[in-house]
Amino acid sequence: MLSYTLKRLAIAIPTLLILIVVSFVLMHAAPGGPFTSERELPPEVLANLNAKYGLDQPLWRQIVTYVWGIVTQFDFGPSFVYKDRTVNEIIAQGFPVTLTYGILSFVVAVVVGVTLGVVAAIRQNTVADYFAVGVSIGAQVLPNFVMAPILVLVFTLWLGWLPGGGWQGGQWQYVIMPVIALSTSFMASIARITRSSMLETLTMNHIRTARAKGLPERRVILRHALKPAMLPVISYLGPAFVGMITGSVVVDVYFSTGGIGKAFVDSALNRDYAVMMGVTILMGALTILFNLVVDILYGWIDPKIRY
């Protein structure tokens, strides 16, 4: 188990390197640069800017310098566009925001999704089941960029209950809509997966035995059925995590939360090479870490899996 973890972490390093090289090359090969502006810059000024940010160096050299800066000082360089900020600062500002609503969305999606799924499974073919299935099927296909403006329209303009955007350091009023918009489709997927895997588990022998022993239904479900039924849900968490990163772009755009998703899209549009790299690496590292956690969790629940 430990050696497995170490092996996985060892793979992370070449992975990140590949990611850095690919992104670097893609970025630099694209038309336009960070200093492309309405008026073509005089060559002298452009040369100065390029020198200031090291863009006059050969590409391989830039990559090496860049990686070196990260390894030795954890320094992702200055932003090319937001000139009074470093990439570290931009990430330090945006990441906690993304992390906050991301984690909340994750928790909501899992808790509500699993509950819905279990209830639907236990009450199979009742009104509750149909309701849960109906809601989750519908919610799964409604893109969050449709949901977000509807939420704002209803809760901000019509009802006047919640502010239409902003973050304000994460006060609860500002967090609700981003979390709903981000979590709903994942919640729905989790509900569906839980339901079907729960139904399957309930037909298994050890559940039958537990029931035959006269254990209360509650206990049968929570103690014996839930854990094995969680396996498919856990293997879904990895993709869900990646999906949430994507969804954060929509949340940031619609709710002006100032998170990392918007920072990425902006940096791509502005050719802010440094920020783009920083966010990509951060997301890559997180994905690796998260997948690892999911795998360990998986092994913990299902001892049959060996590493």
Partner 1 sequence: MLNRRIAASVLALAVAAPALADNPVPEGVTLSEDQHYTFWLLDAIKSMDPQVNTDVEGSDILRQLFEGLYNEDGEGNIVPGVALEHAVSEDQKTYTFTLRDDARWSNGDPVTADDFVYAWRRLADPATASEYAWYMELMQVENAPEVIAGDMPPEELGVRAVDDHTLEVTIGTPLPYFPQMLVHASTFPVHAATIEEHGDAWTRPENMVGNGAYKLDEHILGERVEMSPSETYWDAENVVLDRLTALTINDVNLGLTRYLAGELDRVDVPAGQYPRLAEEYPDQATSTPYSCSYIYMLNVGDQGPEALDDVRVRKAMSYGIDRDIIVERILQGGQRPSYNWTHWATAGFEVPEIDYAGWDQSRRMEEARTLMEEAGYGPDNPVALTLNYNTSEDHKKIAIAVSQMLKPLGFDITLNNMEWKVHTDRMQAQDFEMARYAWCGDYNEASTYLDLFTSYSGHNNGEFFNEDYDRIMKESKTAEDPQPLYQEAEEILAAEMPVIPIYHYAQVDMVAEDIRGLPTQNVMQTWYAKDMYRVAE
Partner 2 sequence: MVVNQQKMRALSDRLAEDADSPGRSLWADARRRFLANRAAMTGLAMLVLVTLFALFGGTLAQWSNEELDYTVMGMVAEEGGPRLDNGHYFGTDELGRDLYARTVQGTQVSLLVGVVGALVAVSVGTLYGAVAGYAGGRVDNAMMRAVDVLMSIPYMFVLILILVMYGRSMTALFVGLGLISWLEMSRIVRGQTLSLKNREFIEAARATGVPAATIIRRHILPNLAGVIAVYATLLVPLMILTESFISFLGLGVQEPLTSLGALISEGAGTIAYGTIWQLGFPLLFFVLTLFGFFFVGDGLRDALDPKDR
Q: How far is the CB of 90 from partner 1 (least distance, A)?
A: 6
171 binds partner 2 (CB under 8 A): no
240 binds, among partner 2, partner 1, none (CB under 5 to 8 A by kind): partner 2
258 binds partner 2 (CB under 8 A): no
Handedness of CA 55, 59, 65, 71 (dihedral sign): positive
167 binds partner 2 (CB under 8 A): no
Identified binder of partner 2 from the candidate list 33, 54, 228, 232, rule CB under 8 A: 232
Identified binder of partner 1 from the candidate list 156, 196, 235, 291, rule CB under 8 A: 156
One character per residue 136-155, x = contact with partner 2 (rule: CB under 8 A) = -xx-xxxx-xx--xx--x--
Identified binder of partner 2 from the candidate list 1, 6, 9, 18, rule CB under 8 A: 18
Are 94 and 260 in contact by the 8 Å Cβ rule? The answer is yes
215 binds, among partner 1, partner 2, none (CB under 5 to 8 A by kind): none
Tokens in use for 89?
Answer: 């600062």
**Which backbone phi and psi does 27 adopt, to 5 degrees?**
-60, -50
164 binds, among partner 1, partner 2, none (CB under 5 to 8 A by kind): partner 1
163 binds partner 1 (CB under 8 A): yes
279 binds partner 2 (CB under 8 A): yes
Give the residue from 105, 155, 149 showing the smallest Cα distance to 255: 149
6 binds partner 2 (CB under 8 A): no
**DSSP state letter for 86:** B
Identified binder of partner 1 from the candidate list 30, 64, 111, 146, rule CB under 8 A: 30
6 binds, among partner 2, partner 1, none (CB under 5 to 8 A by kind): none
240 binds partner 2 (CB under 8 A): yes
Amino acid at 280: T
Rounded-to-integer distance, Cα 246 and Cα 238, Å: 13
172 binds partner 1 (CB under 8 A): no
Q: Is 24 exposed, middle or buried (0-12, 13-18, 19+ CB in 10 A)?
A: buried
Are 117 and 132 in contact by the 8 Å Cβ rule? The answer is yes
Rounded-to-integer distance, Cα 180 and Cα 108, Å: 9
249 binds partner 2 (CB under 8 A): yes
How many residues does this entry show for the chain?
Answer: 307
Could you write out the DSSP letters of every residue in 3-42?
A: HHHHHHHHHHHHHHHHHHHHHHHHHHHSSS-TT--SSPPP
Q: How far is the CB of 241 from partner 1 (least distance, A)?
A: 23
Please name the residue that has the structure tokens 């970025």: 27
Tokens in use for 158?
Answer: 């019509």
Rounded-to-integer distance, Cα 112 and Cα 132, Å: 11
Binding site for partner 1 (CB under 8 A): 30-33, 35-42, 44-45, 48-49, 52, 78, 81-85, 90, 93-94, 149, 152-153, 156-157, 160, 163-167, 252-254, 256-258, 262-263, 266, 269-271
